[in-house]
């Protein structure tokens, strides 16, 4: 919420508009692929398709993990899931401190992936259609709903990387702010929001996009939680909507279990890919110092 978040977050638009940011040509997933390739060269072994069901420990010492029903012994475990998911799902007998329990999840997103026929010169790589009532939009989010006049972000990578869409077509990533999942009727919300987005695009830039949508996929807060383990589908872990939020995140090293570390958007220093990577760097330094 820009009306509540600390002013230090304005460094983000400063970097985007005044400095500039890099764009991965093969999409965000290519960053993960590059890191995996580099790790393999360093001798790291990966077990993919392997679900961790539990983090094993005894008293104040880490023992390892249980994955696919098999216990694996390790001296060091790094948890990269959401901190709430870790405590509630992987360490259910270890209570999360009341200090962290009272922290509110961040907002989430409702995303439409549209393959559209035609090209649209009115739109660029990044596009934002702002709500007519920006303050009202965030008040509705606080009540766990989505505005009927939402701010719409449209990202079209094929504007830069032509191979991301077939010739004569574009790939639209269309996102609106959404609350975290608290049991809302998402089917109804999807139906209403999709209609409102299409109406807004036609109203603001004169494009009737619905007849040109040839394929569609949808990402909701419950699906985000299912795919990533992010508690209630929150995008940035704990909410940043107060001036102490940066100091309220869970630390990267367990204070009660030796050998247990935490990375990701729900712990220090915060959400977003750069800060998630920073959390990994912090843990790397901790482990080197052991």
Same domain, 113 and 219: yes
Between CA 164 and CA 134, with CA 234 as vertex, the angle to 5 degrees is 80
Domain that holds residue 60: 47-103+239-288
Token duo for residue 30? 């290519």
Same domain, 181 and 255: no
Token duo for residue 51? 């679900």
Token duo for residue 277? 């990577």
**Which one-letter DSSP state was computed for residue 115?**
E
In a domain, 35, yes or no: no
Please state the rounded mean pLDDT for residues 227-254.
Answer: 86
Q: What is the CATH number of the domain that holds 248?
A: 3.50.50.60
228, 256, 275: which is the final residue of a domain? 228
Token duo for residue 285? 């330094």
Report how far residue 159's alpha carbon sits from residue 145's, in angstroms, rounded to the nearest whole number.
32
What three-state secondary structure class fits 255? Answer: coil
Q: Is the pLDDT of residue 238 over 90?
A: no
In a domain, 245, yes or no: yes
In a domain, 7, yes or no: no
Look at the chain and report how many structural domains it folds into: 2
Same domain, 70 and 132: no
Q: Is the pLDDT of residue 134 over 80?
A: yes
Same domain, 99 and 119: no
Residue 147 confidence (pLDDT): 98
Residue 98's pLDDT band (boundaries 50, 70, 90)? low
In a domain, 266, yes or no: yes
Higher pLDDT, 116 or 265: 116
Same domain, 137 and 204: yes
What three-state secondary structure class fits 264? Answer: coil
- Report the predicted TM-score, pTM, of the whole model to 2 decimal places: 0.91
Residue 284 confidence (pLDDT): 97
Dihedrals φ, ψ of 16, to 5°?
A: -65, -45
Residue 99 confidence (pLDDT): 66
Same domain, 219 and 159: yes
Same domain, 116 and 185: yes
Tell me what percent of the residues of the chain surpass a pLDDT of 90. Answer: 75
Same domain, 200 and 279: no
Model pLDDT for residues 146-162, shown as the tens digit of each residue: 999 999 999 999 999 99
Report how far residue 27's alpha carbon sits from residue 139's, in angstroms, rounded to the nearest whole number.
33
Residue 115 confidence (pLDDT): 99
Please state the rounded mean pLDDT for residues 120-146.
Answer: 97
In a domain, 205, yes or no: yes
Q: Is the pLDDT of residue 246 over 80?
A: no
Same domain, 137 and 70: no
186, 207, 228: which is the final residue of a domain? 228
In a domain, 124, yes or no: yes
Element (H, E) at 109: strand 108-117
Q: Is the pLDDT of residue 104 over 90?
A: no
Residue 233 confidence (pLDDT): 94
Same domain, 117 and 170: yes
In a domain, 182, yes or no: yes
Token duo for residue 205? 């830039």
Same domain, 247 and 283: yes
Q: Is the pLDDT of residue 234 over 80?
A: yes
Report how far residue 3's alpha carbon sits from residue 123's, in angstroms, rounded to the nearest whole number.
28
Residue 210's pLDDT band (boundaries 50, 70, 90)? very high
Report how far residue 270's alpha carbon sits from residue 180's, in angstroms, rounded to the nearest whole number.
17
What three-state secondary structure class fits 219? Answer: strand
Same domain, 123 and 177: yes
Residue 102's pLDDT band (boundaries 50, 70, 90)? confident
Bridge partners (DSSP) of residue 250 are: 267
179, 206, 228: which is the final residue of a domain? 228
Model pLDDT for residues 174-191, shown as the tens digit of each residue: 999 999 999 999 999 999
**Which one-letter DSSP state was computed for residue 90?**
I
In a domain, 136, yes or no: yes
């Amino acid at each position: 919420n820009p009306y509540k978040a600390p002013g230090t977050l304005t460094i983000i638009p400063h970097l985007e508009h005044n400095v500039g940011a890099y764009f991965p040509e093969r999409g965000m997933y290519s960053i993960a692929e590059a890191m995996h390739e580099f790790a393999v060269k360093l001798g790291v072994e990966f077990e993919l398709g392997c679900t961790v069901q539990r983090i094993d420990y005894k008293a104040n010492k880490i023992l390892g993990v249980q994955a696919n029903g098999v216990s694996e012994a390790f001296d060091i475990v790094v948890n990269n899931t959401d901190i709430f998911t870790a405590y509630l799902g992987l360490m259910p007998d270890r209570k999360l401190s009341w200090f962290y329990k009272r922290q509110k999840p961040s907002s989430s997103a409702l995303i439409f992936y549209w393959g559209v026929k035609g090209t649209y010169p009115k739109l660029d790589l990044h596009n934002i259609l702002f709500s007519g009532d920006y303050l009202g939009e965030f008040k509705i989010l606080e009540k766990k709903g989505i505005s009927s006049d939402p701010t719409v972000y449209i990202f079209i990578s094929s504007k830069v990387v032509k191979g991301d869409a077939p010739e004569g077509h574009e790939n639209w990533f269309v996102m609106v702010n959404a609350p975290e999942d608290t049991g809302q009727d998402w089917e109804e919300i999807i139906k209403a929001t999709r209609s409102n987005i299409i109406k807004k695009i036609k109203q603001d830039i004169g494009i009737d996009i619905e007849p040109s949508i040839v394929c569609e996929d949808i990402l909701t807060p419950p699906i985000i939680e299912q795919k990533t383990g992010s508690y209630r589908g929150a995008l940035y872990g704990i909410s940043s909507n107060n001036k102490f939020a940066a100091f309220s995140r869970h630390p990267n090293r367990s204070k009660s279990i030796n050998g247990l570390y935490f990375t990701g958007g729900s712990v220090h220093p915060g959400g977003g890919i750069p800060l998630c990577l920073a959390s990994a760097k912090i843990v790397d330094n901790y482990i080197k110092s052991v």
